[in-house]
Amino acid sequence: MEAFRARIRAGVMRFLHVVAVGPALGAILVLTVLATASRAQAQIGSDRYSSIVMDAATGNVLIAASADEPRYPASLTKMMTLYMVFEALRDRRLTLDTPVPVSVHAASMAPSKLGLTPATRLTLEQAILGLVTKSANDAAAALGELLGGDEERFAQMMTLRARALGMSRTTFRNASGLPDPGQVTTARDLAVLARHLVQDFPGEYHYFSTPSFVFHGRTILNHDHLLTSYPGADGIKTGYIAAAGFNLVTSAVRGEVRLIGVVLGAARPGERDLHMAALLDQGFAQMNVPVGPPRHDWLAHGTGLVGSAQAAALDAADMAPAAAVREHPARQWTVATGSFPTEAGARAAAALARHGLDAGDLRIEPAGTRHHPQYRAVLVGLSQAEARGFCAALQRHHYACAVARGDAGQLASR
């Protein structure tokens, strides 16, 4: 690990010499990269770690580590499923309103899922949104059956299409990414796929930046924290199975430069996100694109929204609690609502949760993109009982919410 950090230090100093950045900025950059390397040692040293950063315009690789080693894609598989769906839309074989049948097989998929049954009415667009936000395995299987007749045949179609795109080391066995020893890929192949999704489907790519969507009265939040924590990020996909670790593909744009990053095999979601941010920062620096300060967002405070019922913990070193939390350690809990298309909608949800209890400070934060604006309400400075009470009130009215504890980064989606 020390040798790795030494190589990072030497590479950063060579870069600083080339671009002649100021000494203060150089010191900050070196410390940031070294701190990230230290935090990431669990994944860097593992035999399942891979990463790559690619210039989307040219395909040139800026950073790579074990980029051609076989890895399990987990739910990054759904990027290929969606590529096949977008092709069908482009070729007018399907429309966004096309009904997607749900078989017993599709409904039986393990979580994460939308909870589909054979009686569920599901449109193609709803299935797309289920994949890009909740990473729904039941919707993925249903799409595979719609396009391929059965999921096994669809996986064969996926593999053939992947090879045609230049993904020479990828084989698919299912449409979802659920565990299968024969379903393998590489970081480089996934970057190639992400680049094709951006370039081949400019009209559909926006789905990957969807912050949330409403399905049968439930607000489904996006699993991808970098959409709101990394400036310029506009997709693409998260993934996890036990054999793979935590995976992430991210596309980010700054100025005229779009980069695609892939991180495979992280030990935890927070580690994965921080490592991806550091890699993208290094990539933009190599492209002479200024890397600005981090935005005031959930990651900057060591918190985030997760779309599953499991808790996720970050290192204490990664935490930077808000001032209100530091000043009032007993009131260190925060609640965030799901996303709404208007500020008024977010305020109404917050008002509903606060009915009968005047506690916490309310703020409305942007949660979407320039072309698809969304807003969420955030209540800070709460006790644990108040936070969980607010979230329970939102649940009773079918709103999504997330509870975060500022001191230990313990998150629980509701």
| DSSP secondary structure letter of residue 326 | H
Please list the active-site residues: 75, 78, 135
Model pLDDT for residues 345-397, shown as the tens digit of each residue: 777 776 665 554 455 566 777 766 666 677 777 777 777 777 777 777 777 77
Give the start-to-end residue ranges of the domains of the chain: 1-39, 48-295, 299-413
pLDDT of residue 222 exceeding 60, the answer is yes
CB 287 within 8 A of CB 55: yes
**From the CB of residue 81, how many other CB atoms can be counted at a distance below 10 Å?**
27
Ramachandran sector of residue 169 (left: φ over 0; alpha: ψ -120 to 50; beta: rest): alpha
Give the pLDDT of residue 292: 61
> Could you give the percent of the chain with pLDDT greater than 90?
53
Q: What percent of the chain has pLDDT over 70?
A: 72
**Inter-residue contact 395 to 354 (CB < 8 Å):** no
CATH class of 48-295: alpha beta
pLDDT value at residue 338:
75
Please state the separation of Cα 100 from the chain's center in Å.
25
In the predicted structure, residue 15 carries a pLDDT above the cut 70: no
CATH architecture of 299-413: 2-Layer Sandwich (3.30)
Per-residue model confidence (pLDDT) at position 370: 63
19 — pLDDT class (breaks 50, 70, 90): very low
pLDDT at 324 over 90: no
Nearest one of 147, 154, 146, 249 to 193, comparing CA atoms: 249
Closest C-alpha to 70, from 214, 163, 172, 170: 170
Residue with tokens 């509870």: 403
Cα–Cα distance list, 70 to 47, 121, 182 (Å): 10, 38, 11
Query: Which residues pair with residue 171 across a beta bridge?
Result: 184
> In whole numbers, what is the pLDDT of the chain averaged over residues?
78
When mean pLDDT is compared across 34-38, 56-60, 264-268, 385-389, the lowest value belongs to 34-38
Rounded to whole angstroms, the Cα distance separating 66 from 63 reads 10
Per-residue DSSP letters for 340-409?
BSSHHHHHHHHHHHHTT---SEEEEEE-S-SSS--EEEEEEEE-HHHHHHHHHHHHHTT--EEEEETTTT
